[in-house]
Amino acid sequence: MGELRESLADMATCGLPSALEVMGERWSFLLLRAAFNGLKHFEEFSTELGIARNILSNRLARLVEHGVMTRQPCSDDRRKVEYCLTPKGVDLLPAMLALRQWGERHNQNVNTQLVLVDARDGLPVAPVTIRAADGRDLTWHDLAWKRREDLGKAGVECCEKADLL
Amino acid sequence: MGELRESLADMATCGLPSALEVMGERWSFLLLRAAFNGLKHFEEFSTELGIARNILSNRLARLVEHGVMTRQPCSDDRRKVEYCLTPKGVDLLPAMLALRQWGERHNQNVNTQLVLVDARDGLPVAPVTIRAADGRDLTWHDLAWKRREDLGKAGVECCEKADLL
DNA sequence: GACATAGGTAGCGTTTCGCAACCAGTATTA
DNA sequence: TAATACTGGTTGCGAAACGCTACCTATGTC
């Protein structure tokens, strides 16, 4: 990846800082994981995660503000509020799983009793990897930066397909 | 993913908290990205990222402590110190790219001038996704939790292959 | 020897975080 | 209908993390 280095300006405006603005705070990922596990209510998050109530309130509001979750009062019990993942929030699952898999690969004292499997055949999901357009796994040394205007026709088509996901 | 929910204990000890212990602080991911872009020296990180020097010192020390980077004085100029990614650090690339791609997909004001491509054919890399053992892309609703002891022979073989990466 | 450079440390004020107490609106119970 | 409990917050306060600036030490250069 050494041929074309990202410039200072490119690094400052790439997608990573904007993602970290939403997910870079201490509890954001753990809240998200709880939401993926079906938690929906303030008390559930509070008791299961042990997060301070004011911080929880603040984080949930920020996730809603950034379009990662929705907040809607329950119709059947109007004391309750339901926090649900938006498509934008669900779309964070690959990033979260990649981080989790990394923690399981490299850190001791990690409980791996539960394995994430494909519901269809019950087989464990594959490790999250970086792939080329044709599906080959790529390592760091296979990667390079390229200016968008230098992509050419085939490259532009790749991007358009990707944006549809 | 609703059939088997992670318990409180499982959530507390899964790989995500241990990953966040290393990467959950404000500058960790941005430092890592800078390292992927070839930055190696204290001054480079300091001037390009605009991070406070004491925080930078602290973060680098923590990344070294957790085995994500190495710290070695330069032999040719002993004022300088080289910070390099370890294999454990390089292994964070899929997680970082997934996060970055998410930011690019969902946030405005993101500069996408530079595209990450496969150096071999110059085509953009694919979006990071979750895949089944046979390579199919999986969505949230295709996923389930399973106890490791219930995996069966084929499932165990999948895990063993995965751990070799 | 004078000066510049690289890496890092030490104050000091600001922001974030955690803990506990309190509060308002809604359901439940007597 | 009055008392109580539950849910989702907010407020105050102390502790920790963070950012800015200045300073320090070791090494290289002139």
CB A132 to CB B151 under 8 A?
Answer: no
Residues 65-94 of chain B within 7 A of strand D, judged by CB, are 77-79
Which amino acid, residue B55? I
Please count the structural domains in chain B. Answer: 1
User: Residue B117 above 50 pLDDT?
Assistant: yes
Closest nt by CA–C1' to A26 = C17
What's the CATH code of the domain at B63? 1.10.10.10
The answer to whether some atom of strand D lies closer than 7 Å to the beta carbon of B52 is yes
Q: pLDDT class for B164, splitting at 50, 70, 90?
A: very low
Give the pLDDT score at B11.
Answer: 65
Report the C-alpha gap between A158 and A147 in whole angstroms.
14
CB contact under 8 A, B127 and A13: no
Residue A97, SS3 per DSSP: helix
Please identify every stretch of chain A with a pLDDT value under 50, giving residue numbers as ranges. Answer: 2, 164-165
List pLDDT tens digits, range A93-124.
999 999 999 999 998 888 888 899 999 999 99
Of A148-152, B83-87, B161-165, give the lowest mean pLDDT range. B161-165
Nearest to B67 by CA among B100, B26, B18, B34: B18
Residues 128-157, chain B, CB closer than 7 Å to nucleic strand C: none
A135 touching chain B per CB within 8 A: yes
Q: Residues B68-90: what's their mean pLDDT?
A: 96
Q: What is the pLDDT of residues B87-110, one digit of tens each?
A: 999 999 999 999 999 999 998 888
Residue A64 forms part of a structural domain: yes
Rounded Cα–Cα distance for residues B122 and B129 (Å) = 20
> What percentage of residues in chain B have a pLDDT greater than 90?
72
Q: So what's the pLDDT on residue A12?
A: 62
Identify the pLDDT of residue B156.
74
3-state secondary structure of A120: coil
How many residues are given for chain B? 165
- Indicate whether B41 belongs to any domain: yes
What are the tens digits of pLDDT across the range B142-156?
999 999 888 877 767
Give percent of chain B above pLDDT 70.
Answer: 87
Kindly state whether residue B13 falls inside one of the protein's structural domains. Answer: yes
Residue of B nearest to A68 (CA): B106
- The answer to whether the C-beta of B31 is closer than 7 A to strand C is no
Whether B64 is in a domain gets the answer yes
* Domain assignment of residue B85, given as a range: 1-91
Tokens encoding A155: 């490259």
- Nearest-by-Cβ selection for A113 from B100, B135, B148: B148
Question: How high is the pLDDT of residue A109?
Answer: 80
The backbone torsions φ and ψ at residue A74, rounded to the nearest 5 degrees and listed phi first, read -70, 140
Question: Is there a domain that residue A125 lies in?
Answer: no
For residue A123, is it within any domain? no
Dihedral, CA of residue A151, residue A157, residue A162 and residue A164, to nearest 10: 140
Q: Per the domain annotation, does A143 fall within a domain?
A: no
- Does any CB of chain B come closer than 8 Å to the CB of residue A86? no
- What would the pLDDT profile of B26-62 be if each residue is shown by its tens digit? 899 999 999 999 999 999 999 999 999 999 999 999 9
Say yes or no: A143 contacts chain B, CB-CB below 8 A.
yes
Residue B27 within a domain: yes
